């Protein structure tokens, strides 16, 4: 089976998870990786083959991937970053037509996850605790609608880029008012909850982990934690996302008083997924089983208290060549 990891970047551990899962299933697997600069991608260097493609915001991106999938007979395409989700979800039927399954939720779910203001509004409407939020332009007209401290984020931001912390309106006036959302900033223990939805849209499991330490927006130290309130919230989110498929994750803060606030949903593999994998929630195995037509082993079994301590590693290429 050929699978393709797109925007592969440095998702080496995700490749390892797929390889471990394929070995357990005794399934021959060839992992392809695509990136706009594969020579500078450690995951591309670790893949069985790597390909250069346009940037995911380029109009030619989807066509380039379809051509690659046809040529390499790709069975499963796995996106890894937020900006590529919308074009890939819109084109999922085109991929199905050539025999490639994109591991992605439907357009509505992807659009919701990609809009932080809409996410907060729909979560609150569904009874899920979320921070009080407003478009920056509206907040600047009426600063009393939100109380400090505040956090301003790009409406469609990713990887913590462009985030600004503030105590009031004056600190935010230089930002693009129509491109930012402002939210009340909660403080407490941060968690990511990795969720898996099968091909029929059923939520199989939700695995919370503490974000003990974060670097560049990605967890570097974490521990799985069967936190009852977060598991209840995960069920509420699953009911809201009726078009969810495959891996998703959401981020939440639990205050010292036990109050929970969900502030982000990502319709893709989370950066901390390898921790859930090590704990027994092997999303990659379940995806391979679905793609190969094998009986599913997907379950809600996973180990509490598994600790992940990430460290730097390196890929070496002679003379800088792949």
Look at residue 158 in the predicted model and tell me its pLDDT: 65
pLDDT of residue 247: 98
pLDDT at res. 160: 66
**CATH 3.40.50.20, the chain: domain bounds:** 2-103
Architecture of domain 132-184: 2-Layer Sandwich (3.30)
The pLDDT > 90 percentage for the chain reads 87
Segment 174-226, tens digit of pLDDT: 888 788 999 999 999 999 999 999 999 999 999 999 999 998 778 999 999 99
**What is the structure's pLDDT at 10?**
95
The three-state DSSP-derived secondary structure of the chain is: CEEEECCCCCCHHHHHHHHHHHHHCCCCCEEEEEECCHHHCHHHHHCCEEEECCCCCCCCHHHHHHHHHHHHCEEEEECCCHHHHHHHHHCHHHHHHCCCEECCCCHHHHHHHCCHHHHHHHHHHCCCCCCCEEEHHHHHHCHHHCCCCEEEEECCCCCCCCCEEECCHHHHCCCCCCCEEEEECCCCEEEEEEEEECCCCCEEEEEEEEEEEEECCEEEEEEECCCHHHHHHHHHHHHHCCCCCEEEEEEEEECCCCCEEEEEEECCCCCCHHHHHHCCCCHHHHHHHHHHCCCCCCCCCCCCCCEEECCCCCCCCHHHCC
CA dist 177 → 100, 163, 169, 181 (Å): 40, 13, 11, 8
Q: Of 203, 166, 200, 163, give the one whose Cα is nearest residue 179.
A: 163
CB 283 within 8 Å of CB 242: no
Task: CATH 3.30.470.20 in the chain: give the residue spans.
Answer: 187-309
Task: Identify the architecture of domain 187-309 in CATH.
Answer: 2-Layer Sandwich (3.30)
Length of the chain, in residues:
322
At residue 161, the pLDDT reads 76
Q: Dump pLDDT digits (tens) for 108-125.
A: 999 999 999 999 999 999
Residue by residue, pLDDT tens for the chain (322 residues) are 999 999 999 999 999 999 999 999 999 999 999 999 999 999 999 999 999 999 999 999 999 999 999 999 999 999 999 999 999 999 999 999 999 999 999 999 999 999 999 999 999 999 999 999 999 999 999 999 998 799 999 887 766 678 899 888 888 998 887 889 999 999 999 999 999 999 999 999 999 999 999 987 789 999 999 999 999 999 999 999 999 999 999 999 999 998 999 999 999 999 999 999 999 999 999 999 999 999 999 999 999 999 999 999 999 988 655 4
Look at residue 264 in the predicted model and tell me its pLDDT.
Answer: 92
Does 3.40.50.20 match the CATH number of domain 2-103? Answer: yes
What is the predicted pLDDT for the residue at 34?
Answer: 98
pLDDT given at position 155? 84
What is the pLDDT, as a whole number, of residue 317? Answer: 85
């Amino acid at each position: 089976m050929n699978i393709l990891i797109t925007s592969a970047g440095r998702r080496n551990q995700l490749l390892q998870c797929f390889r471990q899962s394929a070995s357990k299933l005794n399934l021959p697997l060839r992992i392809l990786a695509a990136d706009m600069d594969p020579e500078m991608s450690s995951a591309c260097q670790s893949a069985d083959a790597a390909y250069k493609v346009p940037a995911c915001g380029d109009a030619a991106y989807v066509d380039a991937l379809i051509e690659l999938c046809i040529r390499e007979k790709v069975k499963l395409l796995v996106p890894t970053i937020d900006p590529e989700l919308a074009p890939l979800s819109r084109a999922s039927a085109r991929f199905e037509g050539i025999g490639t399954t994109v591991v992605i939720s439907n357009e509505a779910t992807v659009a919701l996850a990609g809009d932080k203001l809409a996410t907060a509004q729909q979560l609150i409407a569904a009874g899920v605790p979320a921070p009080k939020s407003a478009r920056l332009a509206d907040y600047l007209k009426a600063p009393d609608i939100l109380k400090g401290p505040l956090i301003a984020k790009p409406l469609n931001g990713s990887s913590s880029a462009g985030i600004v912390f503030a105590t009031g309106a004056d600190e935010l006036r230089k930002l693009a008012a129509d491109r930012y959302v402002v939210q009340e900033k909660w403080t407490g223990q941060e968690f990511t909850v990795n969720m898996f939805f099968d091909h029929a849209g059923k939520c199989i499991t939700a695995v919370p982990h503490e974000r003990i330490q974060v670097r560049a927006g990605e967890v570097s130290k974490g521990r799985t934690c069967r936190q009852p309130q977060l598991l209840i919230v995960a069920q509420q989110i699953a009911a809201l996302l009726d078009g969810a498929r495959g891996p998703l994750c959401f981020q939440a803060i639990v205050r010292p008083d036990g109050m929970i606030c969900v502030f982000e949903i990502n319709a893709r593999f989370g950066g901390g997924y390898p921790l859930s994998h090590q704990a027994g929630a092997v999303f990659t195995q379940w995806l391979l089983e679905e793609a190969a037509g094998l009986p599913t082993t997907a379950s809600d079994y996973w180990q509490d208290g598994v600790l992940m301590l990430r460290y730097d590693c390196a890929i070496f290429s002679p003379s800088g060549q792949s």
